[in-house]
Structure 1
Amino acid sequence: MTGQSITRHMCLGLLDRIVVFLLLVVLTFVLPRLMPGDALDLMLSSDMARSMSRAETDNLRQSMGLDATISTQFLTYVTNLAQGDLGRSIQHAAFVSDLIGRALPWTLLLVLAALPVYLGISVVIGIEAGREPHGKTDRAFTGVMTLLASVPPYSAAVFLLLGFAVLWPLFPASGAEPLFPSPDPLSRSLAIARHAVLPVLALSLHEIVRFYFLTRGEAVGLSGRPFVLNARARGIGGWRERVNYFGRNLLATLLARMTDSVAALFGAVIYIEIVFAYPGIGLLLYEAILSRDHVLLQGIVLTISALFLTVNWVLDAASANLAARG
């Protein structure tokens, strides 16, 4: 691909993702309104809602804009979104953007910490297994990874919680930091890192298997290529062989699969944050579902979608760039 074709590919990719996001905006507006009743009726049907008079209900419905026509509600909804206003959560008595702004950094901490962990482990052992197919190392690692493949992320989180927070309490069982954080920035950072260890491990286990088999398969193919055989005949081995002859040639393939990985991470983080009561976007989404807080639910879905589509576009552009370089 030439530089011009890469630019055209990036522009078309950006346009596609903008169209997808606009469709999601329409869906997040339409789907809740296809359910019986409206957002206020669902909220008042909850056991947490107190009894309200008809006048109070009418005033609340008017303040939420539910007394207007569908077209007017949609226009207001889109106008507010364009201004960065995701609405106000009645259940939390706070703006949705503020709630998401407090929760999203914790989720990003888990995801960004898990990326180097599972990529580093899976790529290293995948290359080690694939460079000598069907050897002892290959059989050992492949057997372990096959067992891990049968463990879903929520089960891995529960096992880690029971093993290292309950039976052998090395790490905290819940939360993102102590109830009373230390005023010292270093001590607080260490406490946050300690609380994140088990959730990050659980999240990493979810992706280690996928990238191990991907890396191993590519490394098996590379091990029979002439340039690798020639390098071995010249006595090149050790880390030089693994990094220069396997690692560099795997980079484009790994980057191309990162899009699926990011989507899987955001799906798995919901279960993991629930298990560890971690105050991220996944736990907030779960609470919004339980409390039938449609405004908060819409805001979370749109935020995650925008974040995922942006990351997807960046990775796609980087992958196309690497492919063009050969």
Structure 2
Amino acid sequence: MIFLPELPPSPGNPAAGHRMIGRYPVHAPKQEQKARRIVSGLFDRVIVFAGLVALTFFLPRLMPGDPVELLLSADVVRALTPDEIEKLRRQFGLGGSWFEQFIHYLTTLAKGDLGFSLRHARPVLNLLLHAVPWTALLILGAMPVYFLLGLWTGIVSGEQPHSARDRIVTGAMILVASIPPFAAAIFLLLGFGVIWPILPISGAEPLFPPASSMGRVAAILRHAILPAAALALHEVARFFFLARGEAVILSARPFILNARARGLRGWRLHLHYYGRNILPMALARMSDSITTLFGAVFFVEVVFSYPGIGSLIYNAMLERDYILLQGAMLGLALVVLSLNWILDALVTRLVARG
């Protein structure tokens, strides 16, 4: 993508106000078209969210067992009468048929009530508000690392395709791309927590946090390094191959050859010529990256016993806590769809501007 100047408006110029490629005008999309695409994207995500509401209700109930059966199987629970069991099932939201439960679920959801987890003796919304910041810390810590590292290594590698540097970096990225997120988390845990124990391997903060606020922040960041690194390794190859492919194409373009002939090298060439033209496409891929990142954080948090939303969903599945599982999945879906729509709207504006 090359940024071209616009023609000044004039009565005798039919292409006034439009960009030109040679003698042919390229009409920029109207504001109404951009707004229509953005609103259409929002409507599509609302439809997806409505479908997820139904899936998060029915899918947990297809698993063998339910919260009441799991509770009654424990030795600490005394023998209950049928009336007491039925009352307990209503407290867990399992009273009546599936259709009646679903109508009750939609009614409470429309009021903004995600339910009450009897296992944790807390409202589901409070549990989510406690878990989401920890997951957001990992994702926000991993995103700039894999985004910038992937673009930089891809540009450096694609600048001189088929060179020794390109073969080495590409081979390393192929190896990284073949490692699933849970395996990357285990390798990092063994390497930097067991073999070379320099970083904490579980939890989000020490058992006895430092008294000072700065000391506690530093401890929290140290606990987040390994999980965030596992997430970054999961996504860095995606942006490397994207940037490398675009850099190979751009390297043969006249404006890059002209810049090199004028002596431009290093970061100025990479940032202003390669980076500026690769950035819109990389941002367009961020929406897909966020979706897969939230899927990977589930495994990473379980490996590192990190108290985020992934661990919350995992424990809810083990305990058959339907109410918590429904609320956590809907909360996660709402965050993913919102970020996805915001990034798509940003990319639409960037493409429209050229």
TM-score class normalised by the smaller sequence: over 0.9
Is the aligned partner of 1:26 residue 2:37?
no
Q: In structure 2, what is the equivalent of residue 80 of structure 1?
A: 108
Is the aligned partner of 1:50 residue 2:77?
yes
Is the aligned partner of 1:184 residue 2:212?
yes
Q: What CA distance in whole angstroms lies between the structure 2 residues aligned with 1:51 and 1:208? A: 53
Alpha carbons of structure 1 residues 159 and 40: separation in structure 2 relative to 1, 3 Å: closer
Contact 1:46 1:291 (8 Å CA) reproduced: no
Contact 1:43 1:49 (8 Å CA) reproduced: no
CA deviation after TM superposition for structure 1 residue 27, in Å: 2.1
- Residue deviations 1:230-273 (CA, integer Å, cap 9, x gap): 21122222211111110010111101111111011111111111
Contact 2:116 2:324 (8 Å CA) reproduced: yes
Q: What CA distance in whole angstroms lies between the structure 2 residues aligned with 1:175 and 1:31? A: 30
Q: What CA distance in whole angstroms lies between the structure 2 residues aligned with 1:118 and 1:313? A: 21
- Residue deviations 1:195-239 (CA, integer Å, cap 9, x gap): 111111111100111111111011111111111112112222221
**Matches of residues 1-326 of structure 1 in structure 2 within 5 Å?**
1-34=29-62, 39-44=66-71, 47=74, 50-54=77-81, 55-326=83-354
Normalized against structure 2, the TM-score is what? Answer: 0.87
Q: What CA distance in whole angstroms lies between the structure 2 residues aligned with 1:198 and 1:192? A: 12
Q: What CA distance in whole angstroms lies between the structure 2 residues aligned with 1:104 and 1:254? A: 26
CA deviation after TM superposition for structure 1 residue 110, in Å: 0.1
CA deviation after TM superposition for structure 1 residue 158, in Å: 0.8
Letter in 2 for 1:298: Q
Alpha carbons of structure 1 residues 201 and 65: separation in structure 2 relative to 1, 3 Å: closer
Q: What CA distance in whole angstroms lies between the structure 2 residues aligned with 1:270 and 1:36? A: 22
CA deviation after TM superposition for structure 1 residue 35, in Å: 5.5
Contact 1:87 1:95 (8 Å CA) reproduced: yes
Structure 2 unpaired stretches of 5+: 1-28
Q: What CA distance in whole angstroms lies between the structure 1 residues aligned with 2:234 and 2:75? A: 35
Structure 1 unpaired stretches of 5+: none
Alpha carbons of structure 1 residues 46 and 244: separation in structure 2 relative to 1, 3 Å: farther
SS at match of 1:235: coil
* Range with greater deviation from structure 2 (54-63 or 220-229): 54-63
SS at match of 2:166: helix
CA deviation after TM superposition for structure 1 residue 86, in Å: 0.8
Larger radius of gyration: 2
Q: What CA distance in whole angstroms lies between the structure 1 residues aligned with 2:73 and 2:350? A: 53
Letter in 2 for 1:222: L
